[in-house]
Amino acid sequence: MSAHVWTEVTPIGDLLVRAASRHPDRDAVVFPDDRYTYAEVLRRAMLVARGLLSLGVRPRDHVGILCTNGIEFIEGLFGVALAGAVAAPINARYKVNELKYIASNADLVAILTTGDADAYVDFPDVFVQAFPELSSSEALGLDLESAPRLRNVILLSGSERPGFISRERLLELAARVSEEDVHVARSRVRLRDIGLLLYTSGTTANPKGCLLSHEAVTRGPVERATIRFGLKVADVTWGAGPLFHIGSLSPFLGSIGAAGTYVTDAFFDAGRALDLLIREKPTVMFPWFPAIMQALMNHEKWDPAKLSSVRSILLIGPRPLLDKVQAALPQVELVASCGMTETAGIYAVSDVSETVEQRATGHGRPCSGIEARIVSLSDGSEVTDSTPGEILLRGYCVMEGYYRDPANTRKALDAEGWLHTGDLYSRTPDGRLMFHDRIKDMLKVGGENVAPAEIETFLCTHPSVVMASVVGIADARLDEVPVAFVELAAGNTLEAEFLISFCRGQLASFKIPRRIHFVDTGTWPMSTTKIDKRQLRERAAKMHVEHISSERGLT
């Protein structure tokens, strides 16, 4: 950051108010079949805010949002913020147990959701399964045994049903509260107040609720949008992921902060996405992960010539994929980054001077205002360049803690404000961060530390491999050994032993996968936007037992 660059930070609600005031007729968000201007989004969000205040929602109350990407999620998010309350986006893939847990753990006083008959997900059905009393309850002032603070579940779309407040009823309630009342609530929000209660994916235990301030969730995204990506009012950003995930919510807020246009869909389908990309001509694309980018490039509608408007793509993936994307779209800057929910998204990003190889192996430098240390796993001392250790982070973006979880908060945040991420990184002499793996995912093979990411990256150098994920299975002699799950490019076939031989002489013997299991396109177990390694470990262990039983003639 130079003397010619400064930070302007606003609460979440003010992002929308500012953009709508300056550019009311500009498209704020576009879906395949709908588009909404800033004035329209503000009008809808204001009605939600007025309805919430009429229902008794007060400043700093927690309000859940259970929606897929759509105008309802967006008006709900900003409506909660304008009312001075805390938005708690809920993973749309969560089912009965997760919904019951979050409704209670987060102390939600209300939940905003949708109930369209032809919706991608039938959320009211999930609610009734989680809270059977709903179907026989009055909509106003719920009294649910398993979620004692939850007073209202509001349908922002769909027909009226028992236990739910319909949109029509919400609008009637909103008429009792003036816009001035909303602006009074909005004006009282402080930048360090909690703006989002965002739950982590919870692949190993119950999800943890990250308490993120307004500054944490707006400052970085808007700075990156306007400074790093150079977004202006005329620019269009495309995001593939769900807005309940910080990886998509962050660039969405950045787009709103820049008064640009954000383009997305309720779900990802490569054909639909390409139609939308070609029609809306984005400046910046956020496919994030290889599976999404690979699906776009493998689709019959893929035509790089029709994506000439794109100047930046944020993509994390192996070198062969990045080379392929760069060759297809030579005008594009491929951007690498690293982030997590506990840091409200991105905390490091590559710069324009980095090569494709550097972007494939590294994840950029810490963003302005964010400190990073890499420390030894054994004694916590700072390690030298190129030595792996745990990355610690400190700055405006770091969460305030985990809600109602003091034990895990103490583990994650030390007395000096450093966030202990649990991620294994090293730093190059020129300051770039290199990700190795989650510390808990590191394999211990015969006493040797093995980073699955290293094996995954090497497997992806084979021209037939588009994706690889490595986990460990128990081994009597070496404690554990690596096993790889691999997806091959369309039309390619390989024998597992051939791919294992491909690793010999290139990787140390203890790093070579003992088995290769092939995965069909679209069948990876996913946790929101990432491959769910817990499920892969369970699958690998089961296959290992079946293999041993088969060898012994027990099946």
Measured CA to CA, the distance from residue 196 to residue 111 in angstroms comes to 14
pLDDT band at 552 (very low <50, low <70, confident <90, very high): low
| Helix 179-187 × helix 12-22 angle, to 10° | 120
Query: 276 versus 317: which is more confidently predicted?
Result: 276
Contact between 393 and 370 under an 8 Å Cβ cutoff? The reply is yes
**Percentage of the chain modeled with pLDDT above 90:** 74
Instruction: Give the side-chain half-sphere CA count within 13 A for 28.
Output: 30
**Percentage of the chain modeled with pLDDT above 70:** 97
CATH class label, 443-551: alpha beta
Look over the chain and give the mean of its residue pLDDT values, rounded to a whole number: 92
Measured CA to CA, the distance from residue 319 to residue 361 in angstroms comes to 8
All structural domains of the chain with their residue ranges: 12-211, 443-551
Query: 230 versus 45: which is more confidently predicted?
Result: 45
pLDDT at 383 over 60: yes
Burial class (CB within 10 angstroms; exposed 0-12, middle 13-18, buried 19+) of 494? middle
Measured CA to CA, the distance from residue 332 to residue 320 in angstroms comes to 16
Burial class (CB within 10 angstroms; exposed 0-12, middle 13-18, buried 19+) of 23? middle
Query: 47-69: per-residue pLDDT in tens?
Result: 999 999 999 999 999 999 999 99
Write down the pLDDT at residue 2. Answer: 72
Q: Which amino acid is at 442?
A: M
Write down the pLDDT at residue 203. Answer: 42
Query: 137-183: per-residue pLDDT in tens?
Result: 999 999 999 999 999 999 999 988 999 999 999 999 999 999 999 99
Which residues have a Cβ under 8 Å from the Cβ of 153 and sit 6 or more positions away? Answer: 110, 111, 113, 127, 134, 139, 142, 163, 164, 165
Measured CA to CA, the distance from residue 186 to residue 14 in angstroms comes to 8
Contact between 193 and 62 under an 8 Å Cβ cutoff? The reply is no
Write down the pLDDT at residue 159. Answer: 87
The stretch 17-37 carries a mean pLDDT of 98
CATH class label, 12-211: alpha beta
The stretch 545-549 carries a mean pLDDT of 71
The b-or-e profile of 329-342 (16+ CB within 10 A means b, else e) is: beebbbbbbbbbbb
pTM, two decimal places = 0.87
DSSP labels, 458-476: HHTTSTTEEEEEEEEEEET
Residue 555 vs residues 307, 517, 549: alpha-carbon distances, Å: 54, 20, 6
Write down the pLDDT at residue 360. Answer: 84
229: left (phi over 0), alpha (psi -120 to 50) or beta: alpha
Write down the pLDDT at residue 548. Answer: 66
Write down the pLDDT at residue 313. Answer: 97
pLDDT at 23 over 90: yes
